[in-house]
Amino acid sequence: MTATSGMENAVGSGKVSTKEDRLHRGRKVTSAFLMQGWGQFFNQVILILFLLIFHHGSGNPPYSHVAVQWTYRISFAIPAVGTLWLVYYRTYKMKSASKQLAAAKKKSKVTGYDTESLKLTFTYFGPRMIATAGAWFANDVFFYGNKLFQSEFIKVILPENTSIMPGWLYNLINVGVSLVGYYLASFLIDNKLYGRKRMQMIGFFMDFLLFVIPAFNFEHYKSIEHVKEFQTMYFLSSFFNQFGPNAVTFLVAAEVYPTPIRATAHGVSAAAGKLGALLASVLYNYIDTQTKFYVVPWFGLMGMLVTVLFLPDTTGLDLKEQERRWHFIRAGRESDYHGIAVHPRHLSWWERWRGVGRYYDPDADYKQKIEEMRADWEASEARKADEKAGAWGDDAEEHDDSVWSSDVSTFFEKTKGRGSGSGSGSGTSPLLAPKEKEFVE
């Protein structure tokens, strides 16, 4: 829901995205996502408090059946109430959350599940799917692998410990470190000098280093003399996981795809992430701790490689350009799109190598945008005239008519009849209409 709402609000409903949309879209979404960190923090605080309450002020074993049952049942009941509220709010208070998807399908003359778009997704965005799904998969293996550190250094610091409380307290510190990573990610994710792709690459690489170093010198870092170094790597791995792939994978899996396929592509990527979590939870039961440290680092390296090769950087990109490019692809005219979405800085290394960026032409794109805006403006004016004449019935289709500025309206009024789309009144770009009609039929 955060992705849907964040992308919906970020794209906006007007014909032209605002500067705020482009420059702070990532911060808006990650600011919502970092609530995950606060959720982990308060969940751990609640567990500690309830155990102390129901275990008569002590966190040490043996634990009574009543203390265990009440502690965990209440800790699960609290988020359950919040989830029910979330379902209500999403259903009745966010009715426009799927508006962009419905509008895009309607414009492409699609009803139900768009199988044609699914084919085009793998044809034109397959490498991006490798990047978003592969990185999310690798990240979730790391996310669970981070807990490997904790059990080991607690054994060294408190060799006779049988209480659950030290683990919970260290986890609380770890979540606090993670929150710093969440907030720093939110602060820098829209920065063009750092941005999404670089943040994910560095996060994966640092996690790789922080796991591979103790893996090949395990007994050294487990010793009482060096356990503090082991702890430091534990906390840093948490920091770079949040200030890196855990924040970015969620965002870019929505941004790198156009609206008609965004939900499906994001869902496939998220499902790959859950497979990573499942792999970690199953695999870790069958191998010893040092072997786990041998296995986990390479997922960080894998995540970094798929990011470098296949992930485009959407930092500062107007997502409406993704929609424009998609309409050209749907019309079978990929080479006729010349906008910023195929600028080399917004393409992956693989896409640049394949030559996708050769179509970028800012002058041709400027002329295309003028004609597309003219067609939309004329269609809007035609609908207004029909409304005044009472030509629309109660079952008339809804349209997203933006309020055109006086300068834009004046320009189109003065140049009326000069554009290639003049008089069409269809709201479809004159550059796409003939071929798109043939393609759809």
Please tell me the chain's helix, strand, coil percentages from 3-state DSSP, rounded to the nearest 5: 75, 0, 25
When pLDDT is cut at 50, 70 and 90, the band that residue 439 belongs to is very low
DSSP secondary structure string, 41-94? HHHHHHHHHHHHHHTTT--PSSPPHHHHHHHHHHHHHHHHHHHHHHHHHHHHT-
Q: 3: pLDDT confidence band, cut at 50, 70 and 90?
A: very low
Degrees to nearest 5, angle at CA 379 with 377 and 381:
70
Concatenating the DSSP letter of every residue in 150-178 gives HHHHHHHHSTT---SHHHHHHHHHHHHHH
- The whole-number pLDDT of residue 158 equals 76
**Higher-confidence position of 48 and 10:** 48
What pLDDT was estimated at residue 440?
38
For residue 59, give both structure tokens.
Answer: 């966190």
Three-state SS annotation for 243-307: CCHHHHHHHHHHHCCCHHHHHHHHHHHHHHHHHHHHHHHHHCCCCCHHHHHHHCHHHHHHHHHHH
Q: Does the pLDDT of residue 209 top 90, yes or no?
A: yes
Q: Report the pLDDT value the prediction gives residue 101, as an integer from 0 to 100.
A: 56
> How many degrees, rounded to 5, is the angle at CA 145 between CA 269 and CA 28?
45
pLDDT of residue 343: 95
- Higher per-residue pLDDT: 204 or 421: 204
| Three-state secondary structure call for residue 118 | helix
Retrieve residue 172's tokens.
Answer: 């609380």
Looking at per-residue confidence, does 90 or 309 come out higher? 309
Q: At what angle do helices 259-283 and 245-255 cross, to 10 degrees?
A: 150
> Does the structure show a pLDDT above 70 at 2?
no
Has residue 153 got a pLDDT over 50?
A: yes
Q: Are 254 and 7 in contact (CB under 8 A)?
A: yes
Higher pLDDT, 416 or 330: 330
325-363 pLDDT, tens per residue?
998 998 889 999 999 999 999 999 999 999 999 999 999
Per-residue pLDDT band for 402 (boundaries 50, 70, 90) equals: low
Cα–Cα dist 83/286, whole Å: 34
> What Cα–Cα distance (Å) separates residue 26 from each residue in 252, 253, 321?
9, 12, 16
Predicted confidence (pLDDT) at residue 365 exceeds the cutoff of 80: yes
Mean predicted confidence (pLDDT) in 391-400? 51
Give CA–CA dist 34/39, Å, rounded.
Answer: 9
CA atoms within 13 A on the CB side of 147: 12
What are the Cα distances from residue 205, in Å, to 83, 135, 296, 301? Answer: 35, 12, 12, 6
- Both structure tokens of 250: 């969620």
pLDDT band, residue 1 (cuts 50/70/90): very low
